[in-house]
Amino acid sequence: MAEPGAVESPGKRKGVFRKMAQILFKNAKLLDPEKDELEGGFSVLVEGSTIRAVSGKPIKAPKAGVVDCKGRTLMPGLIDSHVHVLLSEVNIRYLEAVPMTLATMRGAGLMKAMIDRGFTTVRDTGGADWGIRDGVAQGLLPGPRMFIAGRAIGPTGGHSDARRRTDYLGGACKCCNAMTFCLDIADGADGVRAAAREQLRQGADQIKIMVSGGVASPYDPLDSRQFSLDEIKAAVEEAEAFGKYAQAHAYTPDAIQRAVGQGVRTIEHGNLIDEKSAKLMKQKGAYMVANLIAYYAMKERAAQFGMTPEMLAKNDMVIDGGLRSLEICKRAGVKVGYGSDLLGALQTEQSREFLLRREVLTPIEIIRQATLVGAEIVRMKDKLGVVKPGAFADILVVDGDPIKKLELLTEQGKHLSVIMKAGQFHKNRLAA
């Protein structure tokens, strides 16, 4: 992994970089997500981990390493606001037999594949801990910048309850079993407070709670109510006390309204949202993080990886609501983030989310969801998802115009000539 501000040196083997104080990108078409079209003839100067200058005129930087984009598109790195880097099995029950050492090694491969696709930032919504996040930040593993929820918290018998019906209370050791490591059970407002405080103590960036049933959990109905209002409020209060926020797994209008009404900031999934729920989200300034591809990929391929007929039946209940949820949120003015929520081997489909959303949204609207809105969700507005002075130097150079051809952001990063995170090259096909 390169040091901050490094560029590949001519004649050196792949992966070896020469440190430079500045990197100058020239002859680029700029994709500014705040604008509808590309602007030509731009230069961008990177210094250390941040962007120092952006100009429609040549920038003088005689000591900078130069990357000539030759008319390619320069844009911000992508943000996936709903991933699970440790959930390496499509049927998460199989994680019962996976020790954390193996789960971490699998996660390393999944994270590298994410940044290979141009996702320089992700929000892990259940599973990844501070060790994985900080290991990537320290350059020990290649991967995107991470914002973590730690263990997702749910009630007994709910979406976070990973026990078999024959398991005793407490279940398996959380250090040895990758499934229970990623999930937590708490009951009563005091129990939720304790669980949230523990995740905050462990460095969580946000608190994840379950307020409705889920597809991948075997025993809870999709429309089940999970957590009382007092329990939801407890999670929100504890998150806010740490300067963080709460996110909620929720499908139904009832679950969405109960969560947002108690101060939950982001709704994950939301496939069955209605106009009333969307209106409340707009009033409260809440965000939706939709993830259509998870349901399509599960319908198409999950059975071969062990997902049960019961799980797939619940998947069929929500798949049709995905596109409709985007339409409802657009009419209500609710901001929607880009999320994939894929499990295990299905994570190769991460970028296909761009193409599914085209049924409802324009390409630039989708790109904004994966840049500007994502940055707002992780509370890094003007630092991520943009190419402007003072922002982190998370930069993609694309072989074409993604606004005209969204497919350029798919195919596992095939059309990305440069991937830079915080001023550090992960990939550079344009080195002199």
DSSP string, 221-233: -TT-B-S-HHHHH
> Where exactly are the structural domains of the chain?
6-77+386-428, 78-377
Q: Which two tokens stand for residue 29?
A: 């078409």
HSE, side-chain direction, 13 A CA sphere, residue 45: 17
Measured in Å, how far apart are the chain's first and last C-alpha atoms?
19
Question: What's the distance, CA 413 to chain centroid?
Answer: 17
Provide the phi-psi class of 428: left if phi over 0, else alpha when psi is between -120 and 50, else beta: beta
185, burial (CB in 10 Å: exposed 0-12, middle 13-18, buried 19+): buried
Cβ–Cβ under 8 Å, residues 322 and 295: yes
**Main-chain phi, psi angles of 167, to 5 degrees:** -80, 150
pLDDT at 5: 33
pTM over 0.95: no
Report which DSSP code applies to 372: I
CA dihedral 139, 143, 149, 155 (to 10 degrees): -130
Q: Which residues contact 418 (CB under 8 A, 6 or more apart)?
A: 25, 67, 69, 395, 396, 397, 425, 427, 428, 429, 430
Report which of 31, 24, 79, 69 is spatially closest to residue 47, judged by C-alpha positions: 24
pLDDT at 7: 35
SS3 label, residue 301 = helix
Q: What is the C-alpha separation between 56 and 386, in angstroms, rounded?
A: 16
**Main-chain phi, psi angles of 241, to 5 degrees:** -65, -25
Q: Does an H or E element contain 178, and which?
A: helix 178-182
Q: What is the C-alpha separation between 71 and 268, in angstroms, rounded?
A: 38
How do 17-19 and 6-8 pair as beta strands? antiparallel
Instruction: Give the Å distances, CA to CA, from 364 to 162, 197, 358, 403.
Output: 39, 39, 10, 6
* pLDDT digits (tens), the chain, 432 positions: 343 333 333 333 343 344 558 999 999 999 999 999 999 999 999 999 999 999 999 999 999 999 999 999 999 999 999 999 999 999 888 888 899 999 999 999 999 999 999 999 999 999 999 999 999 999 999 999 999 999 999 877 665 565 554 455 555 555 667 867 888 889 999 999 999 999 999 999 999 999 998 887 777 888 889 999 999 999 999 999 999 999 999 999 999 999 999 999 999 999 999 999 999 999 999 999 999 999 999 999 999 998 888 889 889 888 988 999 999 999 999 999 999 999 999 999 999 999 999 999 999 999 999 999 999 999 999 999 999 999 999 999 999 999 999 999 999 999 999 999 999 999 999 986
Q: Which two tokens stand for residue 98?
A: 């996976």
Q: Rg of the chain's alpha carbons, rounded to an integer?
A: 21
Cβ–Cβ under 8 Å, residues 214 and 222: yes
The CATH classification number of 78-377 equals 3.20.20.140
- The CATH class of 6-77+386-428 is mainly beta
HSE, side-chain direction, 13 A CA sphere, residue 412: 7
Q: What is the C-alpha separation between 304 and 90, in angstroms, rounded?
A: 9
pLDDT at 184: 85
pLDDT at 168: 53
